[in-house]
Amino acid sequence: MPGLEDQLRRPVRGMRDITPEQYYALKKVEDGLSKVAEAFGYRRIETPAVEHFEVLARKAGREIVDEIYYFRDKAGRELGLRFDMTVPVARVLSYRLDEPKPVRWYYFTKVWRYDEPQHGRYREFHQFGVELVGSDSPRADAEVLALMAKSLEAVGVRDYVIRLNDRAAMDRMLASLGVGGSREEILRALDKRGKVPDGEILEMLRRAGLDGATAEALMALISERRPGSEAPDFFSKYDRDLGERYGRIVKALDAYGVLGRFEVDLSIVRGLDYYTGLVFEAYAGEYRLAVGGGGRYDNLIELYSGVRTPALGFAIGVERLMEAAGITRAERPLDYYVYPVTEDAFKTAVEVAEALRDKGASVAVDLGELTLREALERAAKTGVAYFVIIGRKELEKGVVRIRDMRKRVELEVELDRVRGGLASPYAP
Ligand code: AMP
């Protein structure tokens, strides 16, 4: 039989198989990130992969709508796969208006985007993120920023920077330049900075209605970068209240001990239209793409619930974070491999395996198709910690033979002790 054609052996374009060694790396990252969110008092939420298309489209800007996986089900409903978790969270809160505020929720789950696949850009990927809903305090901004910093640290990223900007400051800046064109289109063009050549951005700005000189002036203005601690002074140039707000944010970031990680960067505008205040993106080491991004969106929840509800959050792209942190695989070797040499020994082998499993060990029993030598070779290759041999001699003596695969030593342990469930043959 010829089997599957080549192209059918591979996952659908933009999708990836997650094999066990990759899965355990993902799980480690999931555990590390969840621990941080839980420690900050956030609680996990999960929602269906499939949403009403209309719900997704209501928030998505033009660019994102094209990226939605769209389909009709057999009953003719127009549906789509979620492209982030902010929309589902807003939808959930729209029927849970009594949820005590502020709401602190986090997620670690899959999202789908019909994007052009390339390095660091997939059609199915994981996002970890938080939503802090119902507060417009600057402390809320600082909490979410600090949480982003702590999340990166939790997975071992030491070298990172979080670049921030503010949409309100951008509005003032555009107004001061007398910009008349489409604000949305301009911000979307600026968001491409660093991702496409400057010439292309200038061209997009011109298409958005800016004359050449204004486009150049805008590009020069957004080149500015300052240490995070200068945010209050910097933003007060645009608006005194905004300066004061950043004064409080900076103070809170300092309290969290992460202020040094932040930089004001006017080229961070974020692609989506719904941000109203703080916007930010995280970069790790030499990794070129943003590992995460977020911001404040005080008008978004209202689109779904009809009630004005200030909110902010961030999302980290888990695959990108793992690549940036160099976490791609994690071994999960067996603790024990139990080998009954004879048919008689099988029952005892199962008994031993069950006792060890009860103690939390990960144990496989040989299926009777490998010779002892083959089984040992295989165990050495796959990284089994202990190989348990039960033959006629052992049965007669009431012992099992345990081989420490790493130290390459063997010892006999009484069957009763093993039945009692020893955690390690060397345990006292
Ligand atoms: P966004 O809100 O669109 O900036 O997405 C948040 C984070 O998700 C980004 O900073 C990326 O790390 C990650 N991300 C976005 N799109 C993709 C994609 N197509 N493939 C993998 N990761 C992505």
Mean pLDDT calculated for residue range 303-307: 94
Give distance in angstroms: CA of 68 to centre of ligand 1: 14
Give distance in angstroms: CA of 369 to centre of ligand 1: 47
Q: Which two tokens stand for residue 394?
A: 């052992």
Our answer on whether the CB atom of 292 is closer than 6 Å to any ligand 1 atom is yes
Our answer on whether the CB atom of 113 is closer than 6 Å to any ligand 1 atom is yes
Asked if residue 395 and residue 272 are part of one domain, the reply reads: no
Give distance in angstroms: CA of 211 to centre of ligand 1: 32
Mean pLDDT calculated for residue range 384-404: 96
Residue having the nearest C-alpha atom to atom 12 of ligand 1: 317
Mean pLDDT calculated for residue range 344-355: 96
Q: CB-based contacts of 195: which residues, under 8 Å, 6+ apart?
A: none
Per residue in 87-113, pLDDT (tens digit) is 999 999 999 999 999 999 999 999 999
Asked if residue 389 and residue 251 are part of one domain, the reply reads: no
CB 124 within 8 A of CB 112: yes
Give distance in angstroms: CA of 292 to centre of ligand 1: 7
Our answer on whether the CB atom of 106 is closer than 6 Å to any ligand 1 atom is no
d(CA 281, CA 293): 4
Our answer on whether the CB atom of 121 is closer than 6 Å to any ligand 1 atom is yes
In this predicted structure, which of 210-224, 252-266, 291-305, 413-427 has the lowest mean pLDDT? Answer: 413-427
Mean pLDDT calculated for residue range 375-394: 96
Q: Is residue 121 part of a domain?
A: yes
Asked if residue 290 and residue 182 are part of one domain, the reply reads: yes
Residue having the nearest C-alpha atom to atom 9 of ligand 1: 292
Q: Look at residue 228 in the predicted model and tell me its pLDDT.
A: 98
Residue having the nearest C-alpha atom to atom 19 of ligand 1: 121
Give distance in angstroms: CA of 290 to centre of ligand 1: 8
Residue 130 pLDDT exceeds 70: yes
Q: Is residue 331 part of a domain?
A: no
Q: Which two tokens stand for residue 118?
A: 């390339």
d(CA 276, CA 309): 12
Residue 181 pLDDT exceeds 70: no
Q: Residue 316 CA: which ligand 1 atom is closest?
A: 7
Query: Is the pLDDT higher at 421 or at 379?
Result: 379
Q: Count other Cβ atoms within 10 Å, centred on residue 176.
A: 12
Provide the pairing of β-strand 262-265 with 160-166.
parallel
Per residue in 50-83, pLDDT (tens digit) is 999 999 998 877 777 889 999 999 999 999 999 9
Q: Look at residue 316 in the predicted model and tell me its pLDDT.
A: 98
Tally the domains of the chain: 2
Structure confidence at residue 427 as a pLDDT band (50, 70, 90):
very low
Mean pLDDT calculated for residue range 161-184: 87
CB 144 within 8 A of CB 295: no
Looking at the chain, the whole-number percentage of residues with pLDDT higher than 70 is 97
Domain hosting 53: range is: 6-325
d(CA 412, CA 425): 9
Our answer on whether the CB atom of 317 is closer than 6 Å to any ligand 1 atom is yes
**End-to-end Cα separation, the chain, in angstroms:** 55
d(CA 152, CA 254): 17
d(CA 210, CA 203): 9
Our answer on whether the CB atom of 293 is closer than 6 Å to any ligand 1 atom is yes
Q: Count other Cβ atoms within 10 Å, centred on residue 207.
A: 13
Q: Look at residue 16 in the predicted model and tell me its pLDDT.
A: 96
Residue 118 pLDDT exceeds 70: yes
Give distance in angstroms: CA of 269 to centre of ligand 1: 15
**Average pLDDT of the chain, as a whole number:** 93
Q: Which two tokens stand for residue 13?
A: 């374009």
Q: What is the DSSP string of 105-145?
A: EEEEEEEE-----BTTB-SEEEEEEEEEES---HHHHHHHH
Pick from 420, 419, 413: nearest CA to 387: 413
Asked if residue 389 and residue 248 are part of one domain, the reply reads: no
d(CA 27, CA 71): 30
Numbers of helices and strands, H then E, in the chain: 18, 17
Asked if residue 274 and residue 134 are part of one domain, the reply reads: yes
Looking at the chain, the whole-number percentage of residues with pLDDT higher than 90 is 80
Our answer on whether the CB atom of 115 is closer than 6 Å to any ligand 1 atom is yes
Structure confidence at residue 347 as a pLDDT band (50, 70, 90):
very high
Q: Is residue 320 part of a domain?
A: yes
Domain end position, chosen among 300, 325, 350: 325
Give distance in angstroms: CA of 304 to centre of ligand 1: 23
Give distance in angstroms: CA of 307 to centre of ligand 1: 28
- Looking at residue 17, which CATH number applies to its domain? 3.30.930.10
Q: Look at residue 179 in the predicted model and tell me its pLDDT.
A: 81
- Looking at residue 361, which CATH number applies to its domain? 3.40.50.800
Residue having the nearest C-alpha atom to atom 17 of ligand 1: 121
d(CA 200, CA 204): 6
Q: Look at residue 208 in the predicted model and tell me its pLDDT.
A: 87
Residue 305 pLDDT exceeds 80: yes
Give distance in angstroms: CA of 295 to centre of ligand 1: 14
Mean pLDDT calculated for residue range 337-363: 96
Q: CB-based contacts of 93: which residues, under 8 Å, 6+ apart?
A: 99, 103, 133, 301, 304, 305, 309
Asked if residue 263 and residue 162 are part of one domain, the reply reads: yes
Q: Look at residue 428 in the predicted model and tell me its pLDDT.
A: 36
Mean pLDDT calculated for residue range 220-245: 94
Asked if residue 237 and residue 133 are part of one domain, the reply reads: yes
CB 419 within 8 A of CB 352: yes
Residue 421 pLDDT exceeds 70: no
Structure confidence at residue 422 as a pLDDT band (50, 70, 90):
low
